[in-house]
A = this chain, B = another copy of it.
Amino acid sequence: MVESKSEHIDHVFHALAHPARRAILQRIARGEQSITELAAPFDMSLEAVSKHVQVLERARLLDRTRAGRAYRCRFRPAPLRDAAKILSELAGLWGRQLDGLEKLLLELERRS
Please give the residue numbers on chain A whose beta carbons come within 8 Å of chain B beta carbons, in ascending order.
6, 10, 12-14, 16-19, 22, 25-26, 29, 77, 80, 83-84, 86-93, 96-105, 108
Q: Are B14 and A17 in contact (CB under 8 A)?
A: yes
Q: Are B86 and A16 in contact (CB under 8 A)?
A: yes
Which residues of B lie under 8 Å from residue A100 when comparing CB positions? Answer: 97-101
Each complex incorporates copies of this chain amounting to 2
Assuming the contacts A18-B10, A19-B6, asked whether A93 and B87 have C-beta atoms less than 8 A apart, the reply is no
A24 shortest CB reach to chain B, Å = 11
Once bound together, how far apart are the Cα atoms of A42 and B91, in whole Å?
Answer: 23
Q: Are A104 and B98 in contact (CB under 8 A)?
A: yes
Query: What are 14 residue pairs bridging A and B, where the CB atoms are less than 8 Å apart in the complex?
Result: A10-B17, A13-B16, A29-B92, A80-B90, A83-B83, A83-B87, A84-B101, A88-B101, A91-B104, A93-B104, A98-B101, A99-B101, A100-B101, A101-B101
